[in-house]
Structure 1
Amino acid sequence: MEILELPIEFEFNGQMQRIYPSLIVLNDQLTLVDTGYPNFLPLIEKEIIKNGFDLKKLRNIIITHYDDDHIGSLFDFKVKYPWINVIASEVESKFISVEEKSERLVQAEEMLEVLPNEEKEFGEWFIQQLKSLKHVSVDYKVKDGDKILDGACIVVETPGHTSGHISLYIPSLNSVITGDAAVNENEKLAIANPHFCLNIEKAEESLKKLQNLNAENYYCYHGGKLTLNTR
């Protein structure tokens, strides 16, 4: 079993940025954790192939939470690889399958009312970005403590950034895939963009929960892999 980070570089607002979806390799099968922004499927495919893997072995996609940079290409993956299983928490599943209006969209619409005029254009663009996301059904809904991927991966509920956010703990590798529950900021774990956290107190509790796992490796979607000396 191994975890690979997939560095995806792209330009946004005139600046080069990078995200790090994770690829879990287990028993010759692949599990992708989060799918990047819309139209990122080719970029992620390229990274997987570069690492020597065949996309025909992609079996699962785990979504840590409903944000456009995490679920943006989920629909495209499901269309191209219809056999994949989509895995998410019960709460986030409602937004992914559009049973309910997403928390992030509600937040964006509320924030638009109080944004200064110079930021309203971006706020309106962000709302349209969220509204244009294509949705899919979630095959497996998970909760805290559930063991998935043949028992090798433990689901860790990490609310705060969103209410149904999950992270993943892989004991055999002493590793955590954090989603946006933690970012690698100057080689330290930190809360991801506190301004957008739906509940900052829960976000702080979730960060502490991940830190208390005392893992050696934290695979952060923003900032990349952080390796700590746990001795």
Structure 2
Amino acid sequence: MNPYQLLDIEFEYSGQQQIITPVLLQDERDTILVDCGYPDFVPLLEAAVNKHGVTLRSLTKLIITHHDMDHIGSLAALKRAYPYISIIAHEIETPSIEGKTKSKRLEQAESTFDALPEESKPQAEQFIKFLQSIEPAAVDQTVSGGEWLPWCGGIEIIYTPGHTPGHMSLYLPASKTLIAGDAVVIEQGRLEIANPQYTLNLPEAVHSVQRLLEYDIEQVVCYHGGLFHGDVKEALQQLVHAYQS
């Protein structure tokens, strides 16, 4: 059995066709979903997992790479429908996911609002209201960088901050696979920093990419872009060099 499956979910957002790629991990005991899309994505997730002979009801765990609306939007709905699913997130992101603190993305949107040109403010207001509407959900298990999770052949948590303060990626050593979340994305066949203009700490994000070079990675799965095709180490080195030169 392949230890992971890519769930390519196509949808329309802001008038554009988009694709996100949550990941399904499986072994004899666990069925684990990594990230869960925008709000109201439960039907799309159900259809995606059904293609692999799985139902959402069979999920045992849900790992969240970070607090962003396209990664946690359906978290509360899933937890409400299937309360036995264990939610796992990085300790730094957990207060925002649970609604105990304001998310950094919302803080960013609010702090830059006054500097926007007047014609951009209506759209920014709509975006802020959308971020405010993201429903919080309780996290069952917090993790930190370097932690080992003994599920689905073993999962190492890699702390990859920058995009958000508590962003994490998952390393599957058995298949030498990195589930990158938004630590990197694929654009025109290349690995890139995700939305560098909105990355909360760009130097830290680049340092996180550099940290990934310490791992023996043969495959990278990006939430935006899917499976990377090419020499992973060379692509990561090129990305770091592009920002350091």
What's the TM-score once normalised by structure 2's chain length? Answer: 0.90
Residue 36 of structure 1 aligns with an amino acid whose one-letter code is G
Deviations 1:186-208 (A, max 9, x none): 22221100011110000001112
Structure 1 position 56, deviation (Å): 2.7
Matched residue pairs, number?
A: 231
Task: Tell whether 2:96 aligns with 1:101.
Answer: no
Deviation at 1:119, TM superposition (A): 1.7
Corresponding residue for residue 204 of structure 1 = 206
* Contact kept in structure 2, 1:181 and 1:206, CA below 8 Å: yes
Determine the structure 1 residue equivalent to 2:174: 172
Aligned to 2:138: 137
Q: In structure 2, how many angstroms separate the alpha carbons of the residues matched to 1:15 and 1:88? A: 30
Deviation per CA, 1:151-190: give whole Å up to 9, x if none.
Answer: 7000000000000000000000110000111101222221
CA–CA distance in structure 1, aligned partners of residues 202 and 209 of structure 2: 10
**Helix, strand or coil at the partner of 1:95:** helix
Q: Percent identity?
A: 43
User: Which residue is 2:243 aligned to?
Assistant: none
1:219 aligns to what?
221
Partner of 1:119: 120
What does the per-residue CA deviation read over 1:52-105, in whole Å, with 9 as the maximum and x for residues that have no partner? 113332011111111101000000110111100000011100100111111111
Q: Is the 8 A contact 1:190 1:207 kept in 2?
A: no
Aligned-pair Cα RMSD in Å = 1.5
Contact 1:216 1:227 in 2 (8 A): no
1:39: Cα distance to partner? 0.3
**SS of match in other structure, 1:66:** coil
C-alpha contact (below 8 Å) 1:29/1:59 kept by paired residues: yes
Alignment of 1:50-69 (within 5 A): 50-69=51-70
2:159 maps to what in 1?
A: 157
Q: TM-score, normalised by structure 1?
A: 0.95
Counterpart-to-counterpart distance in 2, 1:69 and 1:9:
13
Q: Secondary structure at the match of 1:194?
A: coil
**TM-aligned CA distance change 1:211 to 1:44, over 3 Å:** farther
Matching of residues 29-48 of structure 1 within 5 Å: 29-48=30-49
Q: After superposition, where does 1:3-22 map in structure 2 within 5 Å?
A: 3-22=4-23
Do 1:91 and 1:163's aligned partners in 2 also have CA atoms closer than 8 Å? Answer: yes
Counterpart contact for 2:86–2:141, Cα < 8 Å? yes
8 A Cα contact 2:219 2:232, kept in partner: no
What is the rounded CA distance, in whole Å, between the counterparts of 2:115 and 2:216 in structure 1? 40
Q: Write the letter of the residue equivalent to 1:165.
A: H
Higher alpha-carbon deviation: 212-221 or 192-201: 212-221
The one of 170, 183, 186 aligned to 1:184: 186
Runs of 4+ displaced beyond 3 Å: 227-231
CA deviation after TM superposition for structure 1 residue 28, in Å: 4.5
**Distance in 1, Cα, partners of 2:69 & 2:150:** 25
In the TM superposition, residue 211 of structure 1 has moved relative to its aligned partner by: 3.7
| Distance (whole Å) between structure 2 residues aligned to residue 229 and residue 197 of structure 1 | 25
Amino acid paired to 1:114: A
* Amino acid corresponding to residue 109 of structure 2 in structure 1: A
Greater shift, 219-228 or 209-218, is seen at 209-218
Q: Give the aligned residue type for 1:121.
A: P
Deviation at 1:229, TM superposition (A): 4.0
- Segments of 5+ residues of structure 2 without an aligned counterpart are 234-245
